[in-house]
Structure 1
Amino acid sequence: MTSRPQATRIRKQPDERRAEILHTAARIALAEGLEKITLRRVADELGVRPGLIGHYFPAADTLVSEAFTDAAARERDALLPADEAGLPPTERLARFLVRLGEPDCLDLSRLWLNARHLSRFKDGLREAVDAQETATRDALTELIEQGVRDGEFTTDDALGAALRVLVTVDGMGAYANGDTHLDHPALDDMALTVAEHALGLAPGTLRARA
């Protein structure tokens, strides 16, 4: 009697499995909200037992915080991609702001609203939100400082200019959960207009460069 060969089960390396869990949780967060992240839900998505998820993330709150960090960092990398670092600062800023206004970023705006609300009650998530806000603020400030050095922007307060832009973006994102959309050109270019005013650019410069 000939024995039947057994199928070989391939085990993923710990770092690979952990990254897979995080990416899956981040995808759930972007599509449905951080509240939907549970060990069982992530396990179901991956077709594994909840105990495996718990092995890497014993506390669900830790998974929620790290999933937010993963999603926010990935989105920031997409908004300010490293392969565009050689472009003129005005063009990079224009692309950044136009991308933020595209429909694809609506889930990201909702995620930030969701995270900021929940962070009132979860210390780990509050630390994650603070860290991602700082990373984005630093990246935008550095971009503006480069623009000043290159003679493209005019400001003696790069951080202040970055804050004006980001507060405007956050204010517009506050309406991300609404079912209705107020259609007005002022809203479409509001972040661009604020940035142009803060950086001494002629009106319409950023839209043209995007």
Structure 2
Amino acid sequence: MSTVQSTSRRKAPVERAAEIARTAREIALVEGLSAITLRGVASRIGVTPALVSHYQPSMDVLVAATFGAIVAAEIGEVAEELAPCETSVATLQALINTLLGPERSAVTAVWLDAWSLGRRHASLAAEVGVQMDAWQAFLSGLLTTGCARGEFRTADPDAVAWQLLAIIDGLNAHAIVRYGDAKRLRGLVRTVAEHELGLPSGALGPADGSVL
């Protein structure tokens, strides 16, 4: 019997499956989606690759599920963070601040991995689409609420949501490879959002990207 087999206690199938999923998320956030392999997951858990394969016969499916779980969790975290905001303007300001802050860099890196690896993996590409739609719906809902309250003015909240997400994603992609400073460039996103939503200049914060 191998050392790996003997040092890992037997676990119920549900417990083992959850452990594999949790370990895959940990690997993705530290080493990237490409590091999620049979050997990589098995080594962290202390089991054989064959055991991981028994629960997750397709690494492509595990990678896609891992990406989806990480991004869905982030949306939940951001929604909770924004909940105390009393106005739509304050909510959008807080959203821009958090999405362009360094605290989200680990998830940003996972997004970049997914966009790249998704070119060759259909299951991951499909999950990227699902999560992009989820983020767009989240932001579009925020903008639609702001319009209903009379805080924003736009005929197409859906389009503005896509526009803002594209800019935020681009700035974060630059920052993750140390090209530019996404935090300093918050002002760019604020300026575009103010223009598209009929807000006065400075309504979402200083143009220099600082946070009040």
Asked if these proteins are the same fold (TM beyond 0.5), I'd say yes
CA change 1:32–1:88 in 2 (3 A) is same
Q: Hey, what does 1:46 align to over in structure 2?
A: 45
**Alignment of structure 1 residues 1-210 onto 2, 5 Å:** 11-12=11-12, 14=14, 16-81=15-80, 84=83, 87-181=86-180, 185=184, 187-207=185-205
Q: Which amino acid aligns with 1:135?
A: A
**Structure 1: 5+ residue stretches without partners:** 1-8
1:176 Cα offset (Å): 3.4
Over the matched positions of the two proteins, sequence identity in percent amounts to 35
Deviation of the 1:10 alpha carbon:
7.3
Contact 1:144 1:162 in 2 (8 A): yes
Structure with larger RCO (C-alpha < 8 A, sep 6+)? 1
Give the partner amino acid of 1:121. Answer: R
Q: Which amino acid letter does the alignment assign opposite residue 11 of structure 1?
A: K
Count of residue correspondences? 200
1:6 corresponds in structure 2 to none
Q: Tell me how far apart the structure 1 counterparts of residues 179 and 188 of structure 2 sit (CA, whole Å).
A: 18
Deviations 1:6-36 (A, max 9, x none): xxx673461x443332232122112221110
- Alpha-carbon spacing, 1:45–1:166, altered in 2? closer, same or farther (3 Å): same
Deviation at 1:184, TM superposition (A): 8.9
CA distance in 2: counterparts of 1:152 and 1:10, whole angstroms? 57
TM-score (normalizing by structure 1) = 0.84
- Whether the aligned pair in 2 keeps the contact of 1:23 and 1:70 (CA below 8 Å) is no
In the alignment, the residues of structure 1 paired with residue 144 and residue 197 of structure 2 have an alpha-carbon distance, to the nearest angstrom, of: 10
Cα distance in 1 for partners of 2:149, 2:182 equals 36
- Unaligned ranges ≥5, structure 2: 1-8
Secondary structure of the residue aligned to 1:204 is coil
Summarize the Cα distance change of 1:102–1:12 in structure 2 as closer, same or farther, 3 Å threshold: farther
Counterparts in 2 of 1:184 and 1:12: CA distance versus 1, 3 Å: closer
Q: TM-score, normalised by structure 2?
A: 0.83
Q: Is the 8 A contact 1:25 1:37 kept in 2?
A: yes
CA-to-aligned-CA distance 1:132-177 (integer Å, 9 cap, x gap) = 0001101111111111111111111110110111111111122134
Q: Deviations over 1:41-85 (max 9, x none)?
A: 112222333333222210111111111111111122222228717
**Structure 2 Cα separation of the partners of residues 190 and 83 of structure 1:** 21
Distance 1:11 1:131 in 2: 32
Distance 1:174 1:205, change over 3 A: same
